[in-house]
Amino acid sequence: MSTVPSTTHLALAADAQDLLFREARTANTFTDEPVTDEQIREIYELIKYAPTSMNQQPLRIVLVRGPEARAALVEHMLDNNKPKTASAPLTAILAADLNFHDHLPKLFPHAPEAKDYFADDDYRAESARFNALIQIGYFILGVRAAGLAAGPMNGFDAAGVDKEFFPEGSHTALVVVNIGKPGPDAWYPRSPRLSYDEVVTTV
């Protein structure tokens, strides 16, 4: 039950606020209920509208379903992330496409020279990571909107995952996310959050 007052300045209904934010948690265990390709497609059709600079959309998603791929990924996870990843109904590798600029003629057609802005490899890689991370935040919200729980992790050997899943060298893994219905004892105790006055200043 939401504790939000009935009068609010937010357009989103209180139950949707709870689903996406207040009651949503990072899951550490999952049931064995499968997560279908159709569910992920519907999630993507929502989160593809995340804002990115010059509409570059560098996020790439690898759904790890096969047993051999799952075993390979688990080997690159750290410590407690190994059993969580081994048992989740679905795991996704969220990566940045370092050559996202190849798509800019289609994605940003009103500026034909847009691709040229990213000729420098280091600048392009930084932009790819930054904008993919924005998209990853939206991806987690999309998972929650589907009534599923997400368990995002950065505790993995990124170089090992890149070598295993992106050997061509044009993608780099940023986050690994377990996805499914939360299982028994899925949550750690809720950690405190900073208050509005600790975060927000007006100048």
**40-57: average pLDDT:** 98
Q: What percent of the chain has pLDDT over 70?
A: 97
Bridge partner residues of 180 (DSSP): 149
**100-105: average pLDDT:** 95
Tokens representing 183?
């299982």
Residue 198's pLDDT is: 98
**Residue 2 counted as domain residue:** no
Rounded Cα distance between 58 and 36, Å, is 24
Domain harbouring 118, CATH code: 3.40.109.10
CB 97 within 8 A of CB 60: yes
Tokens representing 130?
């930054």
**Residue 196 counted as domain residue:** no
Task: Answer yes or no: is pLDDT of 83 > 70.
Answer: yes
Residue 4's pLDDT is: 52
Task: Answer yes or no: is pLDDT of 70 > 80.
Answer: yes
- The band of 5, judged by pLDDT with boundaries at 50, 70 and 90, is low
**7-13: average pLDDT:** 85
pLDDT in tens, 125-168: 999 999 999 999 999 999 999 999 999 999 999 999 999 999 99
**Residue 37 counted as domain residue:** yes
Domain of 79 in residue numbering reads as 24-178
**Residue 167 counted as domain residue:** yes
Residue 112's pLDDT is: 84
- Angle, helices 67-76/158-165, rounded to nearest 10 degrees: 160
**Residue 203 counted as domain residue:** no
**1-9: average pLDDT:** 59
Beta strands in the chain (DSSP E): 59-64, 90-97, 149-153, 171-180
Rounded Cα distance between 39 and 43, Å, is 6
Q: How many domains does the chain have?
A: 1
- Tell me which DSSP letter residue 49 carries: T
**Residue 136 counted as domain residue:** yes
**Residue 38 counted as domain residue:** yes
